Amino acid sequence: MVSKVSSPCALFVLASGLSLGLGSACGGPNFSSVGIQPGAANEGGSDVDNTPIILPAPAPMQSVDDGGDATMDGAEGDARSAPTADATATVAREDATTTSATSGGVSAEAGAITTDSATAGGGAIADAGHQPTADVMPGVDAAVKDATAMKKPSDASPDVGCPSGYASCAGGCAELSVDPHNCGTCGNDCSALSNVAASGLACHAGRCSYQCAPDYADCTNAGTGCATSLRSTQTCGACNITCSGADSACALGDAGSYACTVVCPAGTTNCNATCADLTSDSKNCGACGRSCPAGTRCSGSQCVCDPTKCGACASGQCINVKSVAAGTSNTCALLANETVVCWGANSVGELGTGNTGSGVTAPSLGATAMLSGTAVAITAGRAFACALLGGGSVTCWGFNGAGMLGDQTVLDEASPVAVSGLTNTVSAVAAGHGHACALYVGGGMACWGDNYYGEIGDGTNTNDLSAVSVLGVTGVSAIAPGVGDATLVEHTCALLANNTVQCWGDDTYGELGDGTTTSRPTAASVQGLSGTISAIAAGGYHTCVVLASGVVECWGGNTYGQLGNSSTTNSSTPVTVAGLAGPAIGIAAGDQHTCALLRTGTVQCWGFNSQGQLGTGVATTGSPFGITSPGSAGQVAGLSGVTQISAGGAHTCALVGANGPVMCWGYNGSGQLGNGTTVDAYEPVAVQW
């Protein structure tokens, strides 16, 4: 079929519904209307865009063959007829795409409008599937392209040609809320995010939903991919795990995931992410997690005692001593583990180990006193000892001839027995020559044992086999029963909170300090003390106190110069010790000698010295058999750093440092010095464990 174009205005309705009107008659000089005809439909029946597009008007065209019919040169198949009055050619096609137009004509191919090529003699409309043959409309090519560009909106804008909820993205319609390739915005391809797994990829509410590839994570939770590597020491196996330490690394573990580890140098072992030398690491000695006890160190993969960290070493164990107590023929130590070890005589069970017999000349960790609880304080008297237990009770062992064990009997005990008659919680305990006393919480006190001179303080001279309260004494802050070897060593003193001292018992040598020599079974106040009192101690026949100023004052028997006032005259009132090298902070009184602990950590002693109990390096064999003042060469040899002192019958011991060692000197006939011998020592010797 041949169609003639007779009007200067030629209107073409393309396959998509796009109309091309050619000629000035269609819309004005040199322009054509290009638009969608109302109600036009493509072959699929869908509505099309009615937006007009203005194109430049092409030159008038006419192509008629010999028979008066317009034909398409070289076209295959049947030509479609065109309207005659309007010279309009209509080709129904879906999706118009402009390619090119020539001066000779217009060709339309299935699925697209192409102005490619046609015969030189005239324009034609190509059937579906036919290729155009020649350029027919030079002005149409650019115009159609411009029209297409004007028709297509930007990627991020909704397209009126897309259904509601969709947007035009790269020539297609995308639902931005669920499209994983256009998620939230055109071109946001979820699959292109960094380090995401292929499975489980989706778009929900315009946000990419994904799983991270192995060993990656989205630590910022920004929804922009898995940018964080879980193989890093900063994020090892998880976002919040950081590997710290110079030797740390992030490595694949046995569980198949990355975890912090360490790369240990040669000679070391990874112990819970720490490189340890098992031969010397005290926390990993010989094996990871094997810690050495306090006071020991790791050497050769074994825990050995470290003498720089403990008081003493014994069989590789650290011996830390909290306090020491010297009796007449034995000595005891309270250890840091709250056990008690004694050494010296044991004929009546003084060691508290459950047996009697030969004594020991050195302590043994395997022979501790058989206490029923943990000990918090110890004291030693004449052939017996007592311990204050953690619950505030008191237990004693050893000689019991006058009831000094307080168990309501006079039977010696090789194992500790509980003191009866205590009516309150005990805060301190002290042993004398043949009796002992306890200080109650709240300031009361009780005593038990020998009461020949009224040293119990209950107003009688009858021995007490259990604890009885001291009459008329309250507000007590410290207690001091007299210690000594002699038979007539029986008095007691107490320091009160009101800074007074009261004493009772034997007063033969003025040891009660009340200005008389009258013994009494009830308390009497010491006269003439000149300052605030900080410590008190009672010996065999004398008593001494330390004032807050560091001055020491003593009273009582002075046969061997034990009062320290450069004389040998007894005094029933306090006298000042002469010649101290510095202020004193502690005091200890033995049978007939006295020692002071100075603020410098050194010790000075005075009094009886026939067996070297003053520790000066010599024993005094000539009258007065002692030193009458510490200024007369009374410095204990070789001692420093002392924290506590205790004087027994004729020997003295000192605790050096916070934990030991323990040093003793003086009489050693029963092994009470603890150095493994029974030879007297005129200067300090270390207790051997």
Q: How far apart are CA 415 and CA 403, in angstroms?
A: 15
Q: How many domains are contained in the chain?
A: 2
Using CB atoms within 10 A of its CB, is residue 328 exposed (0-12), middle (13-18) or buried (19+)? Answer: buried
Q: Are 664 and 684 in contact (CB under 8 A)?
A: yes
Q: How far apart are CA 55 and CA 238, in angstroms?
A: 62
The amino acid at 663:
M
The answer to whether position 292 is within a domain reads no
Q: Which domain holds residue 529?
A: 318-686
The answer to whether position 657 is within a domain reads yes
The answer to whether position 162 is within a domain reads no
Q: How far apart are CA 173 and CA 241, in angstroms?
A: 44
Q: Are 211 and 217 in contact (CB under 8 A)?
A: no
* Inter-CA distances, 441 with 149, 220, 385, 424, Å: 102, 63, 21, 7
DSSP 500-513: -EEEEE--TTSTT-
Q: How far apart are CA 374 and CA 53, in angstroms?
A: 105
222 Cβ contact list (under 8 Å, min separation 6): none
| CATH number, residue 495 | 2.130.10.30
Tens-place pLDDT, residues 626-674: 899 887 668 999 999 999 999 999 999 999 999 999 999 999 999 999 9
Tell me, what's the pLDDT at 9? 40
Tens-place pLDDT, residues 527-547: 999 889 999 999 999 999 999
The three-state secondary structure class of 641 is: coil
The amino acid at 143:
A
DSSP 536-570: EEE-SSEEEEEETTS-EEEEE--TTSTT-SSS---
| φ, ψ (nearest 5 deg) of residue 676 | 90, 5
Of 94, 128, 151, the domain-final residue: 151
Q: How far apart are CA 19 and CA 35, in angstroms?
A: 5
Minimal CA–CA distance to 314: which of 365, 260, 358, 257?
365
Q: Are 533 and 480 in contact (CB under 8 A)?
A: no
Q: Are 607 and 573 in contact (CB under 8 A)?
A: no
286 Cβ contact list (under 8 Å, min separation 6): 278, 279, 298, 301, 302
User: How crowded is the C-beta side of 433, counted as CA atoms within 13 Å?
Assistant: 30
Of 120, 151, 182, the domain-final residue: 151
The answer to whether position 287 is within a domain reads no
The three-state secondary structure class of 26 is: helix
Q: Are 407 and 459 in contact (CB under 8 A)?
A: no
The answer to whether position 282 is within a domain reads no
Element (H, E) at 147: helix 138-151
DSSP 242-291: ---STTEEEEE-TTSSEEEEE-PPTT-EESSSSEE-TTT-TTSSSSTT-P
Of 136, 151, 166, the domain-final residue: 151
> Is the omega angle on the peptide bond into residue 624 within 30 degrees of 0, that is, cis?
yes
Query: What is the rounded end-to-end Cα distance, in angstroms, of the chain?
Result: 131
The three-state secondary structure class of 192 is: helix
Q: How far apart are CA 506 and CA 435, in angstroms?
A: 13
pLDDT beneath 70, residues of the chain = 1-160, 486-489, 632-633
CA dihedral 405, 409, 415, 420 (to 10 degrees): -60
The answer to whether position 199 is within a domain reads no
The amino acid at 368:
T
Q: How far apart are CA 607 and CA 573, in angstroms?
A: 18
Bridge-partner residues for 587, per DSSP?
596
Tell me, what's the pLDDT at 484? 74
Tell me, what's the pLDDT at 144? 37
Bridge-partner residues for 228, per DSSP?
217
pTM, full prediction: 0.64
Cα-Cα-Cα-Cα dihedral sign, residues 659, 310, 657, 610 = positive
Using CB atoms within 10 A of its CB, is residue 104 exposed (0-12), middle (13-18) or buried (19+)? Answer: buried
The answer to whether position 457 is within a domain reads yes
Tell me, what's the pLDDT at 488? 62
The answer to whether position 125 is within a domain reads yes
618 Cβ contact list (under 8 Å, min separation 6): 609, 612, 682
608 Cβ contact list (under 8 Å, min separation 6): 559, 560, 561, 562, 590, 591, 592, 593, 625, 626, 650
Q: How far apart are CA 640 and CA 635, in angstroms?
A: 11
User: Which residue, chain included where needed, has tokens 């129904």?
Assistant: 92
Quote the tokens at residue 510: 């003025």
Chain centre distance of CA 590: 49
- Number of residues written out for the chain: 689
CB atoms within 10 A of CB 149: 10
